[in-house]
Each structure stands twice: as structure tokens, then as C-alpha cells.
Chains A and B, each alone.
Chain A
Amino acid sequence: MHLSGFKIKNFRSIVDSGWNTLASDNITALIGQNESGKTSVLEALYSFYKGSISEDVLRSDLTMPEVSCSFTLAEGESFGYIESIEVPAGIIAEIKKSREITLTRIWFSDMTNQIILAGVNISGIFDKTEEAKRLLKEECIEKLQGFFKDHENIHVSLEKDKDIISLLKKELEQVNKKLDDLKKLIKRSSDISRLEMSKRDMQVAENEQIKILDDIKCKEESLYKKQSDLEAKDLIKSYGEECLELLDALEKTKPELDKAYSEVSEVENSLAYLKSKKENKAAEIKLFASRENYIRISRKAEILKEKTGVILILVKKLMEGKDLQESETEARGEFESQKSMLSRGQAGEVIFRYLPRFEFFEDFSSLLPNRIDLEHIFENNNRVEGYKAVRNFLVVAGLDPEFFKQSNNRILKQKIENLNNEVTVDFQEYWQQNVGKTNKIRINFELEHYDISHSEKRGKPYLEFWIKDQHERLYPKQRSRGVRWFLSFYLELKAFANENSNQQRILLIDEPGLSLHARAQEDVLRVFENIKNKIQILYSTHSPHLIDHNKLHRLLAVQRANHNSELSETIIFDASHLHSASSDTLSPVCTLMGTGLTRQQIVKQSTNIIVEDICSYYYLSALYKLTANPGNVYFLPANGPAGVTTLVNLLTGWGFDFSVLLFDNEETHLIINELKLNSAGFEQENTGSRLIFRENFCSPEDLFSTLDFKKYLIKKRGGISGSNSGFLNNHEISRPLLAADFSQSITAGNFSINDFDEETRHNLNDLFDSLSKRIMISDET
């Protein structure tokens, strides 16, 4: 896993650094003037790892810092631990797809902090999940309110039905009575006409009776249905009421919790100002009580949260028409699943455990001592002078302290002799400075025993260190500070790289090698190169000798937005935007490159187009003059494709904007790969790329149609079946002479763009349009 980028907000002079990309080859250098904010960048990154910050880093407006780091997973690096974490659907797939993990550490006003899993797409998924939870609550409350209204309406309607039934029953009684009366009348009646009339009345009454009975039956059925419905709804109602009560209780707990937390903080803060024991004792009791109270409310809130979570889902299920048992089972299951799902903070904590270890080296104060007692080594006594340096030495030499318990003194001495040679040879790989003309210093250690002059330690073993050259054998302390610093630095880094080699590490170094000679500073770079596959390195420097002029993609330029004000915010430019950095910021690079070429007139501040050779220069600068493209571009010829990278590095270092125009041939393919790997701005083949590539055109001569090539360049009529460039190669025609001749003809005004045929004009327009677009993009940035 490699730290691929960072973004820092509100950290000392940095307001918002924006995303900054680190070099993919594991070494990144921060350059900039004093007080520009280089150390702040390193400190912010270290704070991201450590989690703690001091109040010193806060800005005057007290906005809290936020540091984001992006890590790229190496090819073939396992996703095992990421796959095992339970996060909302889509997040693992997103990480796998991008092979990138972004974590953000946020600090709060009480100086506590949280690390969260971030990244644009990933945050979107978390947001959606949280939004879904919030919507569930809101929808549930809304539905419940509708439900309660509905329930009330049914209840009212049911009562009405009951009244109607009661009235109908009374009507029925009256009809029944009427029927009885009519029956009696009919029995007694002898008058035929009256009898007939009574029978008709009876028929009417009987019909009325049937109707009322039907109505009653109908209403009773309806009543039964409503009652059943209401019984079912009563269950939902009771859970719904409980749900609302729980939500209300949970809402009320929040201010309680805040209040309890404030009380704890208040008492904690007051402790610092108490003087008497009595006051302290009382405050401690109060602190204990307030903490207990806070814990109690927290627990209560947790229980309420859990109950609310389950009942919200349960109510939703019941309202969907599921039965109680089914709803309860499903609600419990869903809640447990939600509960086990990690939040962005929890996911951040888990992933953080797998990040590379960050180490911050401000200095290498533990210098190699002249001697150290072995017993201090055995006892791990790190208070003894030089303990750390000796320990590092033993790690580099691959020695365990047990080694010195070897009883055979002759074998021990021989082994030490061999080790001295090994360590010296390795050290000399990096320390290139000669003492005198040819000799290099050697590092030696020897196992000795105290003699009679040290009565207290007599016979006890100690290790003695020497740094010697051909003429002198001196103790480390007798050597210069520079040598001792470098040795200490070498030992620390080599030991760091050798130890815990299974864990990936990131080393943050603030201004290494300040006291070193220029040559020795270059040696520091060599050590970085040597360990970069094991350790990623970020360092700040002012020194041109700590910058590799062939690897300018490793630079991040740090400066104040307003060069004249130390109060202005820090801004950072990556290597592809070094041209936007101030000349003071770039002074180490300019020094490295030889001179500040910003003052010359050959190369311009912008719109420089690097081309691969002098022929391309002749053709393109001549043809560009013929076209009606707006703006000036400046073609800079490299001395062949291999020279393109050198020009790229020079222009990057000088802080000029540029693009590279390459044609499609084997040599340029190699250069393109190299540029993509080692230079900034060539990563992607889109409009933002500095590379303008002419696919299917091997050389500038191929921009001409065969007819124009014959007519204006070689001035022959014979058929050419292959490419123009192929023809030149096969016929051994001097390209530079041809190109220079053509350029002169253009300068002499011998022909215009309209003299070329449609194919040539099309090819030229296509090319110069690409150049114009690139210039416009460059102007915008």
C-alpha cells in the first residue's frame, strides 16, 4: 500500500491544500522557502497517523483541522481484510475497482478526533445508507400519523354502525308488532274487503320486515368486518404508539447526554486550576459522579436507540400487512444486520490498522558513542548515551545481543572482523566522499573488556567504535558533525528498513542533512533510493543537492499564496504545475539546473512545445507560421527522442509550462513510457495531458500527402507506395537538410498553406488544433 495523495485543511498556515499527488516511485520532496509550510505538511501527515494534535496547529479562526490521505493498493496486494469488514453494499466493490482507499481524520473542538473511510464515491454510498435510515424514520412517523387517523375513522364509523343497527332493530320490533296486529285482525275479520286490505297491509309489512332484516344483516356483517379490522389495527396502533414514545424519549435523551458531557468536561477542565487538596478531593468526587451520570445516560440512550431501531422496522412490516411473528423476526434480523454494518468511522478505524506505519524523523540526535557497556545492551537501557545508535548498528550488522555471549573469544573476534568489513562496504556504497584523495572512512567496532584502571567494571565487556581512514583511527566523537550525522542517519534508516520488514512504512523527514557537505547530501539521496522499495519517503528540503534533476516529478512546491506575507495561506503545487510556483520557491531547482533561465528569451514561460529532433523543429515551426492558428507556440528541439526527457526535466525545473509533441515510432514509444513513469502530467491521455501524440505518423514528413511530399520536399515524380518517412530511410536522404531547405522555402514565402492538397491541410489542421487546445488548457490552469 502506497500513500498516493493527501489533502490538508486548517492546519497551521494551510487552509485547504487541495489534493496533492505523491510520486509513484516512493520518494517525494517538499521544496519551498522558510515558513512556507513544508514542515506543516509533514506534521499534518504525521498527525493523521498519530491522531493527536496540539493547540499550536490551530488557525486563528479555530476551525478544526482535517487531513485526508489516499492509499493505492499495489498490484496483487490482497483485499482480504477489506472484504471481511461489513460495510454498506457497493463500498468494497468501489475500493476493488479503484484500488484506492481514502481515510480522513477530523478533529473536533474538544481536540478529540475521528478517522473515517472517505472518498467521493464511498462517501456517497454512506450518505445514501444514512439517508435511507433517516427516511425510514420519517416515512414511518408519517405513515403512523395517517394510520392513527384512519384508525379513528374506522372506530367512529363502527359506532355509527352500531347506532344504525340499534335503530333498525327498533324498527323491526315495530314492524313485528304491526304484523302480529294484522294477523289478529285477519283472523277476526269477516268483511272481505277489509280482509283483503289487511292482507295487503300484511304483505307490505312483511316486505318491510325482510328489508329491515337484510339491512341489519348487512350492517352486522359490516360491523363484524370493521371490528376485525380494528382488532388487527389495534395491534399496529399499540406498537406505533410505543414507537413514537420511544422516538420522543430518544430525542429527549440527546440534550441530557450533551448536558452530562458538558458537566464532565467542565469538571475535568476545572481540575487544572484547583490548588488545595480539599478542593481537589471534592472535584474528584464531582467528576466521578458526573462521569457515572454520563455513562448512565449513554447506556439509556443506547438502549433506546436499539429499541427504536427494531420497533421502527417492526411497525413498517406490520403496516405492510405482515403478521406479528413474521414482522418481529424480520425486524430483529434487519436491525442486527444494520447494527453490524460499520459506519464510516468504524470502517475507517478498521482499515486504519492496516495502513503503513508513519514515522517522523526530525533529527538524528542519537549519535554513535565511542563506547558502550554490553550490559546496557542486554538490559535495553535506552537512557545510556548512544544506546539507540548502537542498537541500530547491531540491527544493520544483523547481530542479536546474544551473539556476544559466544564463549570462544577467537571466533568472536573473527566474526566481528567480518562484520566490520560488511558494514563498512555497505556504508561506503552511500558515503561517496573521500578523505584525502582515494581513501574512504571505515567503521569498526570491537569487543573489549575493562582493565584494571576501571576497578568497578574490571573484566566487564564493552563495545568500542572507531571511524578510521588510512591514517587515523578516531573515535566517533573526534569526527566532524557531518560524518557523525550521516552515520547516524544511515544507521537509523537501514535499521528502520531491516526491522519490521513485513510492515509497510512511510518516513517523514524534515530537512535531512542540514549540516552535511553538498556531496554528502547527494549521498543522502542515494540512501533514499536504496530503501525506497521498503519505505516510502517524504522529506522537506532547501538544498538543490537533495533533489534529483532527473526525477523532478518527485517535487511538491510549497509556498505562501502571497509571497510577501507570512500570514497568507500555504499553497502547494505538484510537479506538473511547478511553472506556477514562485522563482524563490523553485530556487533549489534552478540552482540544480545551473541558472535561473526565467530571464532568457529562448524558452518562454508558457506554450513551449518540445519536439523530438531538429527536423520536427524545422517542419513544425515553418508550417505553424503558414496556418491561421491563434497564439504563439515555441518549438524546442531535443537532440533525438532520448533527449526529450532531459528537456522535460529542465523545463519542469525552471518552472516553465510545456507540452511534448511526439510522432508514432518505436523510439518515441519508449520515451512515452518513461515520461508516464517519471514525469508529472503525462499520466493520462486526455485533454489534460502534456503529451500530444500523432498516432500513425512516424515523423513530421508523414504529415504531408505523398504528392506534396514529392512536390515540395524531394521534388521527384516517381511513385512512393510506403510512408514518406520510410522512403527517406530507404533512400538515405538527409532529413535535416531536407527539413532546413523546406523551412527556408517557407520563410522565403515560396508557397502558402493553400498550395498543399486537402490531405496535407487536413493533417496540419488536425495537429495544430491539438496544439491550440493544449495551449488553451495551459492558459486556463
Chain B
Amino acid sequence: MQESAGINNIVSSFQADPKNVHSKEIMDSLRYAGLIQQALLPTSQFLNKLLKDYFVLFMPQAVVSGDFFWATHKNKKAYIVTADCTGHGIPGALMSILGISFLNEVVKTDSSGMANRILNKLREKIMEALHQTGDFNESKDGMDLSMCIIDQENSGLQFSGANNPLYIIRSNELIEIKGDKMPIGINAVFEKPFTNKHIEIRNNDRFYLFSDGFPDQFGGPKNKKFKYRPFKQLLLDIHKSNMNDQHSILKETIINWKGDNEQTDDIMVLGFSFR
């Protein structure tokens, strides 16, 4: 399996004037913040143990990222999360730190083992922390998120999503499990409980969690978004390759698509299977 080391690739894109002392200081601070954020993400050793067959394509748009992935293990179950916080760069990164720390707390204290209840709790924490009460002029920040709880012993997977889906490729067909149309944070109308989807894991199933960075990337001959349909087709085309190859193809495809354009948003795709 493979992960993108985002920091080194992205640092070069930072247009700092080396002669400007302030810019250099800011750059150093950001680089250090990026290292801290990187340290909060699950290590490849941990993911190797937890998922065995997987890849993470993680390409932050800046030194720090508003996308993050998170994983843990509890009661013989693997918990996998990909999240896309509002904004990117520093604001997104701050929100991601909040999300990671709340996820740690909520999953640790949760006794239900149900993905939707964890998302409900996480939303409460974010709303409380950001003082979101439904008032007109308050912040609407939050995050879109997908959570999978994998019970390999019983070949079961729970999915709950906040505005984000889960793609499953099974028998050469892509199945989209949609998330609930609500963020983790205050909703436009009343908050409703997140729903839980139970999926039976079958041999050779491929699972993909992602942020909107990949399909929303501008580029190509007409400088348009990559879009979801080609993204789905790309996954269908490559799903039989091994995870390392899938990672390389996705990365190469999006870099080629971007061309000389700037990266629009943080990009994250997490794929896994149970062969």
C-alpha cells in the first residue's frame, strides 16, 4: 500500500518570496503545522495492520489540509473515517484537528458500536464547540464525512455518511451508498439523526471513501471539473489492479487532468478490500 507524502510536494507550490523574512517565518510555521497535522493521521504501520489491502491518495492543496482520514480499532472492529472540513488550508486544518480529537473521544466513550450514533455524537460536539444554536448570523462550519465500521469476523460493514457517499465495486458494478444530506455541524433546518447502512462484505468487493477534491478538480482540455461520472468509470476501470497500482493510476490521472492548473481543493481517496 501507498500514501502520498503531501507536504514535500506541496511546499514547492507555496509562492513565498525567500527574501521576505515574514513570508519565510510564515512558511516555516506552516511547514511545522503540516508536520503536526501529518502526525495526527494514522501511520501506515497501523493501517497495514488494520486493513492490509488498501491505499490512501492524500494530496493537500496547501501545506496543511482540510481533508483528513482517521482510523481506529475497538471491540474487534475497524473504524475508518474520511472527512472534508469546510474550507481548506489553515481554516480547514484547524477544523480537522477538532474533528480528529472529537472522533477519538466519541468513539472511545461510545458503547453502541453504531456508526450513525457516533456521527450524531460528533455533530453534537462540533455544534457545542462552535456554539452553533441555529441563529442566523452564526458560523455554519463543519465537515462532510464518511464512516465505515468493519466487522471482519462477521463479514459486515456499517456505513454512515454526512454528505459523503461510499462506493462499492462488486462484480464489475459500482454501487453508490449515499450518505445523509447533512453535515457534521449545524444543518440548514433541524438536525435529524444520521442513518446506518449495513452491508454484507463479499469476496473481491472494493470499497472507496473520498472527499470531493478529486471529482471537483479543474483541468483537462476544456478546463472543466473532472466530475463524478468519469471518477466512477475510472474506479471501475482500475478496480481489478492491486491497491498500489490503483493509487498510482489515480494520482497520475489527476495530475495529468490538472495540468498547469492550480489544485482546486484537498484531494483524498481511500480504497480498501478484503481479499
Chain A residues in contact with chain B, CB under 8 A? 696, 705-707, 711, 716-721, 757-759
Main secondary structure of the interface of B (DSSP, over half): loop
Specify which of A706, A711, A718 is in contact with B120 (CB 8 Å cutoff): A706
CA distance A504 to B230 in the complex (A): 89
* CA of A706 to CA of B127, assembled, Å: 12
Expressed in whole angstroms, the Cα–Cα distance for A45 and B126 within the complex equals 69
Residues on B with C-beta less than 8 A from A757 are 192-193
Inter-chain contacts of B186 with A (CB < 8 A): 717
A719 lies within 8 A of B120 (CB): no
Whole-angstrom distance from the CB of B186 to the nearest CB of chain A? 7
CA distance in complex: A718, B121 (Å): 12
Convert B78-103 into 0s and 1s, putting 1 for each residue whose CB lies closer than 8 angstroms to a CB of A. Answer: 00000000000000000000000000
Q: How far is the CA of A720 from the CA of B117 in the complex (A)?
A: 14
Q: A758 to chain B: which residues have CB within 8 Å?
A: 116, 193, 196
Give A606 Cβ to nearest chain B Cβ, in Å.
33
Inter-chain contact A720/B128, CB cutoff 8 Å:
yes
Among B116, B117, B129, B196, the most chain A Cβ lie within 10 Å of the Cβ of B117
B111 pairs with A719, CB closer than 8 A: no
Cβ 8 A contact of B125, one of A707, A717, A721, A759: A721
The answer, yes or no, to whether B190 is at the interface (CB within 8 Å) is yes
Contact of B4 with A by CB under 8 A: no
- Docked Cα-Cα span, A719 to B191, in Å, equals 10
- Chain B residues with CB under 8 A of A696: 111
Kindly state the separation between the CA atoms of A180 and B21 in the bound complex, as whole angstroms. 139
User: Nearest B residue to A717 by beta-carbon distance?
Assistant: B134
Once the chains are docked, how many angstroms separate the CA of A659 from the CA of B204? 53
* A719→B190 contact, CB < 8 A: no
Tell me whether A719 and B134 are in contact in the complex, defined as CB-CB below 8 angstroms, given that A757-B193, A759-B117, A759-B193 are known contacts.
Answer: no
Q: B53 in the interface, Cβ–Cβ < 8 Å?
A: no
Interface assignment of B216: CB less than 8 Å from any CB of chain A: no
CB of B125 within 8 A of CB of A719, answer: yes
Query: Which residues of B, 97-148, contact A by the 8 Å Cβ criterion?
Result: 111-112, 116-117, 120-121, 123-134
Query: Cβ of B127 and Cβ of A711 under 8 Å apart?
Result: no
Give the top 7 A-B pairs by smallest Cβ distance, nearest first.
A719-B127, A719-B128, A717-B134, A718-B133, A757-B193, A719-B124, A721-B125
Q: How far is the CA of A757 from the CA of B127 in the complex (A)?
A: 19
**Contact sample, A vs B, 29 pairs, CB 8 Å cutoff:** A696-B111, A705-B120, A705-B193, A706-B120, A706-B121, A706-B124, A707-B191, A716-B133, A717-B127, A717-B132, A717-B134, A717-B186, A718-B127, A718-B131, A718-B133, A719-B123, A719-B127, A719-B128, A719-B130, A720-B124, A721-B121, A721-B124, A721-B125, A721-B128, A757-B192, A758-B116, A758-B196, A759-B112, A759-B120
- Contacting pair A707 B131 (CB below 8 A): no
Roughly how many angstroms separate A707 CA and B190 CA in the complex, as a whole number? 10
Q: Known contacts being A705-B120, A707-B120, is A719 close to B193, with CB within 8 Å?
A: no
Given contacts A696-B111, A759-B117, A759-B120, contact A717 B191 (CB under 8 A): yes
- B128, closest chain A residue (CB): A719
Of the candidates B117, B124, B127, B190, the one having the most CB atoms from chain A within 10 angstroms of its own CB is B124
Interface centre among B121, B125, B127, B193 (most CB of A within 10 A): B193
CA distance A696 to B109 in the complex (A): 11
Bound CA–CA A696/B132 (angstroms): 28
Please give me the residue from chain B that is nearest to A696 by CB atom: B111
Tell me, in angstroms, the Cα distance from A632 to B137 when the chains sit together: 50
Min distance, Cβ A715 to any Cβ of chain B, angstroms = 11
Q: Total number of A-B contacts with CB less than 8 angstroms? A: 51
Determine the chain B residues whose CB is within 8 A of the CB of A705 once the complex forms. Answer: 117, 120, 193
> What separation, in Å, do the CA atoms of A711 and B193 have in the docked complex?
11
Please state if B125 and A711 are interface contacts (CB–CB under 8 Å): no
A710 to chain B, nearest CB (A): 8
Q: How many residues of B contact A (CB 8 A)?
A: 24
Give B102's nearest chain A residue, CB to CB: A721
In Å, the complex CA distance between A757 and B117 comes to: 11
Residues of A with C-beta under 8 A to B191: 707, 717
**Measured CA separation A719–B125 after assembly (Å):** 6
Minimum CB distance partner of A758 in chain B: B193
Residue of B nearest to A716 (CB): B133
Are A718 and B128 in contact, CB atoms less than 8 angstroms apart? yes
What 0/1 pattern do residues 236 to 251 of B give for CB contact below 8 A with A?
0000000000000000
The residue from A717, A718, A720, A721 contacting B190, defined by CB atoms under 8 A apart: A717
Residues of B contacting A759 in the complex (Cβ-Cβ under 8 angstroms): 112, 117, 120, 193
Having A721-B121, A757-B192, one finds 13 other A-B pairs with CB under 8 Å, namely A707-B120, A716-B133, A717-B133, A718-B127, A718-B128, A718-B132, A719-B124, A719-B126, A719-B128, A719-B132, A721-B128, A757-B193, A759-B120
Chain B residue numbers with a CB within 8 Å of A717 are 127, 132-134, 186, 190-191
Report chain A residues within 8 Å CB of B112: 759
Residues of A within 8 A of B133 (CB): 716-718
**Which of A706, A716, A719 counts the most B-chain CB atoms under 10 A from its CB?**
A719
Task: Note all chain A residues with C-beta closer than 8 A to B196.
Answer: 758
Residues on A with beta carbons closer than 8 Å to the beta carbon of B111: 696
Contact A711:B128 (CB < 8 A) given known A705-B120, A759-B120: no
For the complex formed, measure the closest distance between the CB of B191 and the CB atoms of chain A, giving whole angstroms: 6
Distance (whole angstroms) from the CB of A693 to the closest CB of chain B: 16
The complex places the Cα of A565 from the Cα of B196 at a distance, in Å, of 65
A706, B116: Cα distance in complex, Å: 13
Contact, CB under 8 Å: A711 / B190: yes
- Contacting pair B192 A707 (CB below 8 A): yes
Inter-chain contacts of A716 with B (CB < 8 A) = 133
Measured in the bound complex, the distance between the Cα atoms of B196 and A759 in whole Å is: 11
Distance to closest chain B CB from A52 (angstroms): 62
User: Measured between alpha carbons, how far is A706 from B192 in the docked complex, in Å?
Assistant: 11
CB distance from B111 to the nearest CB of A (A): 6
Q: How far apart are B119's CB and chain A's nearest CB, in angstroms?
A: 11
Residues of A within 8 A of B125 (CB): 719, 721
Residues of B within 8 A of A711 (CB): 190
Q: Which residues of A are found within 8 Å of B132, using beta-carbon distances? A: 717-719
Complex Cα gap A41–B128 (Å): 66
Min Cβ gap A422→B in Å is: 61
CB closest residue in chain B, given A720: B124
- Bound-state CA distance A757–B192 (Å) is 9
Bound complex: CA A758 to CA B112 (Å): 12
Min C-beta distance of B70 to chain A, whole Å: 18
A358 to chain B, nearest CB (A): 52
In the complex, how many angstroms separate the beta carbon of A697 from the nearest chain B beta carbon? 11
User: How far does the alpha carbon of A705 sit from the alpha carbon of B117 in the complex, in Å?
Assistant: 9
Nearest Cβ distance between residue B140 and chain A, in whole angstroms?
13
| Cα of A719 to Cα of B138 in the assembled complex, Å | 13
A719 to B134, CA, bound (A): 10
* Nearest CB of chain B from residue A543's CB, rounded to whole Å: 52
Distance to closest chain B CB from A9 (angstroms): 50
User: Whole-angstrom distance from the CB of A286 to the nearest CB of chain B?
Assistant: 84
B138, chain A: closest CB distance, angstroms: 10
CA distance A707 to B128 in the complex (A): 13
CB-CB under 8 A from B192, the residues of chain A are 707, 757
Contacts of A719 in B (CB 8 A): 123-130, 132
A85 to chain B: closest CB distance in Å? 49
Residue of A nearest to B126 (CB): A719
* Complex Cα–Cα for A696 and B112 (A): 11
Interface residues in B192-222 by Cβ distance below 8 A to A read 192-193, 196
Interface residues of B in 147-198 (CB under 8 A from A): 186, 190-193, 196
Report the minimal beta-carbon distance from A32 to chain B, rounded to whole angstroms.
49
CA distance A757 to B119 in the complex (A): 14
Min CB–CB distance B125 → chain A (angstroms): 4
| Minimal beta-carbon separation of B245 from chain A (angstroms) | 41
Across the two chains, which residue of chain A brings its CB closest to B127? A719
CA distance A720 to B191 in the complex (A): 13
For B193, the chain A residues whose CB sits under 8 A away are 705, 707, 757-759
- Tell me how far the C-beta of A73 lies from the nearest C-beta in chain B, rounded to whole angstroms: 39
Shortest beta-carbon distance, A270 to chain B, in Å? 81
Question: Nearest residue in B to A760 (C-beta to C-beta)?
Answer: B193
Write the chain A residue with the least CB distance to B117: A759
Which residues from A are CB-within-8-Å of B120?
Answer: 705-707, 759
